[in-house]
């Protein structure tokens, strides 16, 4: 629509004005940095959202295993009514009955979407839905799961999207099962740290779970680069260099 074109022109104009007057431009991923470089011929620095490494948690979240042969897969965050492809894990749950899926969501539309999938696949005994957790509860939720599910769009249109949730997952030191496009920057980080797998189909997930004992966190990589403490230091150093006479 013409109004949408007009809005984009206004946004682009404002963005150009801000960038032209800025001494330093930051962004949160390599892909977004490349896009800014392509548009404006600038070299932004990448400051990742990162994770807090000094949060003290009280043990107050009641996910308990009654059967230690169970494997709990956890997802925490928005689904945007199916834009994040949680649906492709449901046939996997149907095939492997020891898998349990715990989902922490906020929006009613996401609850309805997941509830519809649960009924469609008849998986009420394997799926638990938690709503409106506090931040502390969500962190405990992640630490009580065996595998954490990271979801991105399959078509690559979100390949530069690296949510803060990914870094929370990293700090939880759990195996991360990423679902998205192979060229996602999230895939690059997960593979670089050797903390999980990144797939884009039900068939690939089924192949992974054929040997489920391999899906355990065993990274020897140093994840501390992605702490907010280190990311803040990188930003502070850049600002200090700008202020030098």
pLDDT in tens, 112-170: 999 999 999 999 999 999 998 888 888 888 988 999 999 999 998 888 888 889 999 99
pLDDT in tens, 76-118: 999 998 899 999 999 999 999 999 999 999 899 999 999 999 9
User: pLDDT category, 60, cuts 50, 70, 90?
Assistant: low
Q: Please tell me the pTM assigned to this model.
A: 0.89
Average pLDDT over residues 5-12: 86
Q: Enter the tokens of residue 49.
A: 């959202």
Q: Are 239 and 24 in contact (CB under 8 A)?
A: yes
- The rounded distance, in Å, linking the Cα atoms of 147 and 74 is 6
Question: Is a pLDDT exceeding 90 seen at residue 216?
Answer: no
User: pLDDT category, 235, cuts 50, 70, 90?
Assistant: very high
Burial (CB count <10 Å: 0-12, 13-18, 19+), residue 106: middle
User: pLDDT category, 65, cuts 50, 70, 90?
Assistant: low
Q: What is the pLDDT of residue 33?
A: 94
What are 148's strand-pairing partners?
74, 176
Please report how the helices 164-172 and 135-144 are oriented relative to each other, as an axis angle in degrees rounded to 10: 50
pLDDT in tens, 166-195: 999 999 999 999 999 999 999 999 999 999
Q: Are 173 and 106 in contact (CB under 8 A)?
A: no
User: pLDDT category, 202, cuts 50, 70, 90?
Assistant: very high
Mean of pLDDT over the chain: 90
Q: Are 146 and 72 in contact (CB under 8 A)?
A: yes
Q: What is the pLDDT of residue 195?
A: 93
Q: What is the pLDDT of residue 63?
A: 63
Q: Are 141 and 74 in contact (CB under 8 A)?
A: yes
Average pLDDT over residues 219-228: 88
Q: What is the pLDDT of residue 90?
A: 97
Determine the length of the chain: 245
């Amino acid at each position: 629509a013409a109004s949408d074109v007009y809005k984009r022109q206004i946004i682009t104009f404002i963005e150009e004005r801000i960038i032209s007057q800025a001494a330093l431009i930051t962004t949160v991923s390599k892909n977004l940095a490349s896009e800014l470089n392509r548009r404006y011929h600038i070299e932004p620095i990448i400051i990742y959202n990162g994770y807090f490494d000094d949060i003290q948690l009280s043990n107050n979240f009641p996910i308990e295993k009654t059967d230690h042969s169970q494997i709990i897969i956890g997802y925490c965050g928005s689904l945007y009514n199916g834009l994040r492809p949680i649906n492709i894990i449901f046939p996997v749950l149907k095939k492997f009955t020891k898998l349990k899926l715990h989902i922490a969501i906020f929006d009613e539309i996401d609850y309805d979407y997941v509830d519809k999938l649960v009924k469609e696949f008849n998986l009420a005994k394997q799926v638990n839905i938690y709503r409106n957790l506090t931040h502390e509860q969500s962190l405990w939720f992640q630490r009580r799961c065996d595998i954490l599910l990271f979801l991105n769009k399959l078509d690559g249109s979100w390949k530069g999207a690296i949510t803060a949730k990914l870094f929370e997952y990293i700090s939880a030191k759990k195996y991360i099962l990423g679902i998205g496009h192979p060229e996602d920057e999230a895939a690059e980080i997960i593979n670089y740290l050797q903390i999980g797998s990144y797939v884009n189909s039900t068939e690939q997930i089924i192949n992974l779970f054929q040997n489920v004992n391999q899906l355990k966190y065993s990274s020897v990589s140093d994840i501390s680069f992605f702490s907010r403490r280190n990311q803040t230091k990188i930003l502070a150093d850049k600002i200090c260099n700008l202020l030098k006479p």
